[in-house]
Amino acid sequence: MTSETQPLTLIKEKDFGTKAAHAVDNRMVTLEIDGREVTVPDGTSIMRAAAELGIMVPKLCATDSLDPYGSCRLCLVEIEGRRGTPASCTTPVAAGIKVTTQNDRLAKIRKGVMELYISDHPLDCLTCAANGDCELQDMAGEVGLREVRYGYDGANHVFARKNGEQNEMWQPKDTSNPYFQFEPAKCIVCSRCVRACEEVQGTFALTIDGRGFASHVAAGMDEDFLASECVSCGACVQACPTATLIEKSVVDHGQPEHSIVTTCAYCGVGCSFKTEMQGERVVRMVPYKDGGANEGHSCVKGRFAFGYATHKERILSPMIREKITDPWREVSWDEAIQYAADRFKATQAKYGKDSIGGITSSRTTNEEVYAVQRMIRAAFGNNNVDTCARVCHSPTGYGLKQTFGESAGTQDFKSVDHSDVILVVGANPTDAHPVFGSRMKKRLREGAKLIVVDPRRIDLVKSPHVTADYHLQLRPSTNVAVLNALSHVVVTEGLVDRSFINSRCDKEDFARWEKFISDEKHSPEATEALTNVPAADIRAAARLFATGGNGAIYYGLGVTEHSQGSTTVMAIANLAMATGNIGRDGVGVNPLRGQNNVQGSCDMGSFPHEFPGYRHVSDEATRHLFEKQWGVKLSGEPGLRIPNMFDSASSGTFKGLFVHGEDIVQSDPNTNHVTHAMESLEICVVQDLFLNETAAYAHVFLPGTSFLEKDGTFTNAERRVNRVRPVMREKQGMAEWEIVGRLATAMGYPMMYTSASAIMDEISALTPTFQHISFKRLDEVGSIQWPCNDEAPDGTPIMHIEEFTRGKGRFMLTEFVPTSERSNRNFPLILTTGRILSQYNVGAQTRRTENVVWYDEDILEIHASDAEMRGIREGMMISLTSRMGGTTMRAKISDRVPPGVVHTTFHFPMNGANVITTENSDWATNCPEYKVTAVQVTPSNRPSDWQDEWEVRERENKRIEKPLVAAE
């Protein structure tokens, strides 16, 4: 709950009609509109200049998220001394002109235009779902339309039948998309949807078919929306001025009455949304134009897939049980918390202080993560705290800290608008970070060059109006060799940016690296056999990157989830420094984070060797700071990391685990090893929304809150701290930081916070990079990118501008070391894993939404030649086995993967993709090697043993004594 005193309103963002202009040399132009003087940047439309004055010229086809089109002719104006009535949306301002936006002549023309529109539009305003939020209705009102002289007897799109016969112009409603509908009878063919799909989303799923009066909007090849290429981002729905494209939730519930701005809880882009509400019911989510990360765009997950928050399987009562084979018993909060505290204490008494620990979540708020790590360090009295970020981006933190001095990406998302060459390594932005992917595609359509390093042909390599200049389709696990080869070319062909090196980097380290990388063994020719990438392509790509202007590198889990993850991150940093691509707009090294708060959970001290703000636990000064604040002695020894926790559990020295908001059993590699470790625990407490796979091994279940109920902050991949605001009360009755505080208190360490905002105040008092961040500041300015302190009071969109955080940039030697996981006769294929747009990670949320219409099981992609050799056909059930275990799933023949490589996702538990992944991990951080597993694939007709066991466990370990209380 929140105690905000501001009255709620429905936020209506002003529509300026056309985009803000960016004038060359900031040239400004002064003109007169309706007798008022206004000064705007050169290139601004007359419509926008008028809107700056507060004069809103009537319009239909223009909106400020799109380029002007000039088709509706409603926005006409007069300009003194010019003939005719130009459209104000497409006519730019000029110095000294005098514009008239309204007089009798203009009014008459506008009325005529509206009359024509309305004569081909149904008149059912009162019962229309867009009633109250329809621009056509507004314009009819504004121009004072009082009568329509033409009847519906003639040609129209409105009625199914005309003069008793079928009306060829009429098209039925398309309700195939689960979240929005398309009702062509209401369409005014303004093409805003078509332009939104092209310009904002970049999918090109919509077109205007036909000509003149017969023209109409068509999805794909005149298919329904679900069958078309549409990715359900909703940009077209948002752009539509009428009820033609509209959310089904608005059709069902009506127009919202108030809205609250909050942050999406799915991916690391961190989009801002207006949550539009009726009471405590969410009617729809609308991306917020002022959102720093998304500027008004979103993807299907954030905009539509929030139904899981009220899903009937959500658990709302605390539960306990003696043994994991017992059924769950619902109890009060006090009882559950006391029970958990007693068992943790008993375990410590029996096995020692270090026998328990906890895991923080990358899905929860900074404040919640901070509370959990404090509970572990202060109440548990050890540093056995780790985060699920371990399994995805820990090498980023390590690699970038070593080279640049800070564990974070260097740019804001906007920076890509200034990039000339974009290098994407092991990332799939259009699926995993869709809103940023759209932004990148936009820049590519404007002409930026693209180099993709990926074993799989991701969508970016070839999609409408975007083609990669080079796709370096490397053999999985050879990232370091490819990056070294690129750097080798840069160095040996004399393409190094010497002035950058001289002024910004440590010279000794550079000289040594230069010698190292120049070695013939790193050349593209020498590594070709290893990497499978033609040497000529590497040379050409390296030249392009070094000489093509601003070069930016974006990378993802395809880089980090390898035994050489940290080395790869360093190799990327080396390449960026060698080419001088750090410290300004358009360049940089940018990790694309998986979960929404990966960055935040790392910042908040989730690692066993670091306090909040990445300060080592052995650092006396820092430790004393925390000891003073927390009033307790703290350990200066690093604690256990997640894989070490499992190992120690198996070997009997680790006995108690607190798991917050993560499904480690489903998401961690080598499921069999993990489950064995989980079974050896004497106390496991899970705090989550659902009885997930991990809860099957738990003794206490503490129900958590969805992001719609949370008060706090998330930090996205560009270090942007965004507010998360509660739009409804906690459904289980307690904020998550309070649960954690009570648990710590019950263990004998009083830790009671009064609000999430108080937790942030403690964070900023103790963490130099957060010095000036507070809820109050965030509410004022919207969002802040850390570091935000005395040197950078407004935050830091781009890092390392004058110098690196560590002073001089440091080149690291990055020797390629082949992984021990290799294919052989028994396991001849290499499996890599990934994700797809409509589902999210372990899928706990998205699986519980309508998003399953796009993807309802994990599928194995296999190349036609590998499939043929094994007698596998499209859609066939196959068995997938590795040294570690086996599972079955459906096969899809695909030329996205090269021969020898297969690919799957891990969104659905019963497919158990991690049953087969190994416990290999990154040398520096133990980040598991998800991306490389040697496997065999054979046709199959029965589930694997593991799947049989899973079904039994699903039934047995999740029993609850009382019938489930439904969420709604």
Partner 1 sequence: MIRMANQIAAFYEPYTRAEALKGIHGHIHSFWEPRMRKQIYDYIDGGAEGLSPLVTAALSDKK
Residues in touch with partner 1 (CB under 8 A): 354, 383-384, 516, 563, 566-567, 608-609, 616, 618, 637-641, 644, 647-648, 653, 813, 815, 817, 820, 921, 923-926
**In the block, which residue shows the tokens 């690692």?**
607
In contact, 755 and 726? CB cutoff 8 Å: no
Give how far Cα 193 sits from Cα of 10, 204, 211, 287, Å.
24, 10, 17, 16
Q: Does 440 bind ligand SF4 (CB under 6 A)?
A: no
Q: Does 73 bind ligand FES (CB under 6 A)?
A: yes
If phi > 0 it is left, if psi is from -120 to 50 it is alpha, else beta; for residue 901 that is: beta
Give dist(CA 966, CA 910) in Å, integer. 24
Give how far Cα 55 sits from Cα of 136, 239, 813, 952, Å.
18, 21, 61, 67
Which of partner 1, ligand SF4, ligand FES, none interacts with 638 (beta carbon under 5 to 8 A by kind)?
Answer: partner 1
Q: How far is the CB of 44 from ligand FES (least distance, A)?
A: 14
* β-strand pairing of 36-41 with 28-33: antiparallel
What residues does 338 pair with on adjacent strands? none
507 vs 959, beta carbon nearer partner 1: 507
Q: What share of the chain is helix, strand, coil (3-state, %, to 5)?
A: 35, 20, 45
Which of ligand SF4, ligand FES, partner 1, none interacts with 354 (beta carbon under 5 to 8 A by kind)?
Answer: partner 1
Give the residue, chosen from 75, 158, 717, 784, that forms a contact with ligand FES under the rule CB under 6 A: 75
* β-strand pairing of 933-939 with 877-882: antiparallel
Which of partner 1, ligand SF4, ligand FES, none interacts with 336 (beta carbon under 5 to 8 A by kind)?
Answer: none
Give the residue, chosen from 140, 158, 235, 878, that forms a contact with ligand SF4 under the rule CB under 6 A: 235
What residues does 272 pair with on adjacent strands? 263
Q: Does 233 bind ligand SF4 (CB under 6 A)?
A: yes
Q: Does 143 bind ligand FES (CB under 6 A)?
A: no
- Half-sphere exposure in the Cβ direction for 116 (13 Å, CA): 11
Is residue 787 reached through a cis peptide bond, with omega within 30 degrees of 0 on the bond before it? yes
Q: Does 118 bind ligand FES (CB under 6 A)?
A: no
Q: Does 240 bind ligand SF4 (CB under 6 A)?
A: yes
682 vs 929, beta carbon nearer partner 1: 929
Listed in sequence order, the residues at least 6 apart from 651 whose beta carbon sits closer than 8 Å to its beta carbon are none
75 vs 571, beta carbon nearer ligand FES: 75
CB atoms under 10 Å from CB of 875, counted, come to 10
Q: Does 388 bind ligand SF4 (CB under 6 A)?
A: no
Q: Which among 242-250, 325-333, 932-940, 953-961 is the span making contact with ligand SF4, rule CB under 6 A?
A: 242-250
Q: Does 435 bind ligand SF4 (CB under 6 A)?
A: yes
Give the residue, chosen from 187, 573, 829, 852, that forms a contact with ligand SF4 under the rule CB under 6 A: 187
71 vs 479, beta carbon nearer ligand FES: 71
Q: Does 106 bind ligand FES (CB under 6 A)?
A: no
239 vs 880, beta carbon nearer ligand SF4: 239
Sites for ligand SF4 among residues 832-891 (CB under 6 A)? none
b/e string for 688-723 if b means 16 or more Cβ within 10 A? bbbbbbbbbbbbbbbbbbbbbbbbbbbbbbbbbbbb
Phi, psi (degrees; rounded to nearest 5) at 77:
-140, 170
Which of ligand SF4, partner 1, ligand FES, none interacts with 74 (beta carbon under 5 to 8 A by kind)?
Answer: ligand FES
Site string for ligand SF4, 275-294 (x = CB under 6 A): -------------------x
Give how far Cα 245 sits from Cα of 58, 208, 844, 851, Å.
21, 15, 29, 19
Q: Does 239 bind ligand SF4 (CB under 6 A)?
A: yes
Q: Does 70 bind ligand FES (CB under 6 A)?
A: yes
CB atoms under 10 Å from CB of 941, counted, come to 9
- Which stretches within 316-358 are classed as H helix? 333-351
Q: How far is the CB of 819 from partner 1 (least distance, A)?
A: 10
Q: Does 239 bind ligand FES (CB under 6 A)?
A: no
In contact, 833 and 860? CB cutoff 8 Å: no
42 vs 647, beta carbon nearer partner 1: 647
Residues that bind ligand FES (CB under 6 A): 59-62, 70-75, 87, 89
Residues that bind ligand SF4 (CB under 6 A): 187-193, 196-197, 201, 203, 205-206, 217, 230-236, 239-242, 244-245, 264, 266-267, 269-271, 294, 298-299, 301-302, 433-435
